[in-house]
Amino acid sequence: MSYIVVSDVHLGSKLCNFDEFCSFLEWILDLKGSPKKVPLKDGAVEIRSPERIILLGDILELWDPEDGDRDNVVKQCLRPLSLLSDLGCDKVYVMGNHDNAVSSYEQKIDYETLRNGTKLDIWNRHYPDEMAGMRIGDRSYYFLHGHQFDKAQSILAKVSKILGETWDPLNWFNSQYNTSVTKNHWKLMGILWAALFVGWFIKQDLVASSYFLYTVPAALLFGLFLFSSLPAVVTKSQRRIYDIKKPKDKTARQIIEEKFYQEQKDTITADVVVFGHTHFASSYQGEAGKKKLFINSGSWVGEDEEIDGKMRYSNTFIYIDEAGAHILRWKGGVVEPLESH
């Protein structure tokens, strides 16, 4: 039994390492009947064709696609999705915060059978349902995207719980922007909105009847133009704002020690928790006596970067088999080991 886990590809974004990810998927296809050995510090691990590939969230960039245009997501995901479809293994897609809109398909895609007989299933928050995880070898594993550990996401989670449905304002603005009228005419709509706003004050001096005749249609047009231009303004500006306030990518150790992970609220009983979200492939077991192991799958965006004295590598994935879990790095067609557990 073997699994491959990838997260945070962000297909459709400017930072996505598209060519590398496609090459990696072609490499997985090549594993069929031809396992690859990767040398480790002590021995080697044989990478076999996986029985399941877990797409652990933020595979698609629906919050912040290039130029705010989700057509770029569609364009960039065609080849990877075709390659994924050809893989001779089942696919599990766990939602992240940047592709949470796909969760609306969770009930509609229930182990969909693909052309090669493999299955595709969508999971909203985590995989599997059981907090005890799923057994692989001597340990049990539990998979979630990891934004559940993010303090900045806690407000969204609380509001969503109150509403009884996912509350995601950035996704809402981006969805409104990605209508044909707004994408093509949002600047004109903004000008008309400003003109109506000014005109509303000018009409204050008219008699009541004329004022009423103006106000009713103006209010309708005002709302139309406002909701055609405002989503574009938010969509176009959110990347600049995020770049100014962007937090550093965090290791698994930082997530635990800086209390992003709330131990007192943890109901997961699996031996190993696999997550992504923070783009930093790493692991953390905690202090002596605490058996739970946390492993971060890293990302497929940007370049290698040193953060707080530790290298954050891009293009990383996790390989799990009966012997354990390995954090690996895809580099120019070669797989390099980072950590083994």
pLDDT in tens, 304-341: 999 989 999 999 999 999 999 999 999 989 999 999 99
Distance of CA 183 to the CA centre of its chain: 24
Query: Both 33 and 144 in a single domain?
Result: yes
State how far the Cα of 49 lies from the Cα of 31, in Å rounded to an integer: 5
pLDDT, averaged across the chain? 85
More confident residue, 156 or 236: 236
Single residue among 210, 245, 280 that ends a domain in this structure: 245
pLDDT at residue 197, rounded to an integer: 66
Query: Both 196 and 252 in a single domain?
Result: no
- Residue 113 pairs in a beta bridge with 119
What would the pLDDT profile of 24-40 be if each residue is shown by its tens digit?
A: 999 999 998 899 999 98
CB atoms within 10 A of CB 231: 22
Percentage of the chain exceeding pLDDT 70:
83
Percentage of the chain exceeding pLDDT 90:
51
Q: Is residue 166 part of a domain?
A: no
Query: Both 241 and 321 in a single domain?
Result: no
Query: Both 118 and 195 in a single domain?
Result: no
CB atoms within 10 A of CB 304: 11
Query: Both 114 and 239 in a single domain?
Result: no
Query: Both 280 and 218 in a single domain?
Result: no
pLDDT band at residue 275 using 50, 70 and 90 as cut-offs: very high
Q: Is residue 165 part of a domain?
A: no
pLDDT at residue 43, rounded to an integer: 86
Query: Both 137 and 265 in a single domain?
Result: yes
Query: Both 93 and 112 in a single domain?
Result: yes
Strands 36-39 and 324-331: unpaired
Q: How many domains does the chain have?
A: 2
pLDDT at residue 92, rounded to an integer: 96
Single residue among 219, 245, 271 that ends a domain in this structure: 245
Task: Look up the domain containing 238 and give its range.
Answer: 171-245
* Terminal C-alpha separation, the chain: 16
Q: Is residue 286 part of a domain?
A: yes
pLDDT at residue 202, rounded to an integer: 64
pLDDT band at residue 208 using 50, 70 and 90 as cut-offs: very low
Q: Is residue 109 part of a domain?
A: yes
Query: Both 263 and 154 in a single domain?
Result: yes
More confident residue, 205 or 129: 129
Query: Both 234 and 318 in a single domain?
Result: no
- Residue 318 pairs in a beta bridge with 5, 327
Single residue among 245, 260, 279 that ends a domain in this structure: 245
Closest CA to 295 of 158, 155, 139: 139
Backbone angles phi, psi at 105, to 5 degrees: -95, 0
Query: Both 93 and 127 in a single domain?
Result: yes
Closest CA to 148 of 34, 277, 54: 277
State how far the Cα of 179 lies from the Cα of 183, in Å rounded to an integer: 6
What would the pLDDT profile of 105-153 be if each residue is shown by its tens digit?
A: 767 777 788 888 999 999 988 999 999 999 999 999 999 999 888 766 6
Q: By the 8 A CB rule, do 101 and 238 touch?
A: no
Query: Both 241 and 253 in a single domain?
Result: no
pLDDT at residue 184, rounded to an integer: 78
CB atoms within 10 A of CB 202: 9
Poorest-pLDDT segment among 147-151, 167-171, 288-292, 329-333: 288-292
- For residues 230-240, average pLDDT: 79
Q: Say which CATH number the domain at 312 has.
A: 3.60.21.10
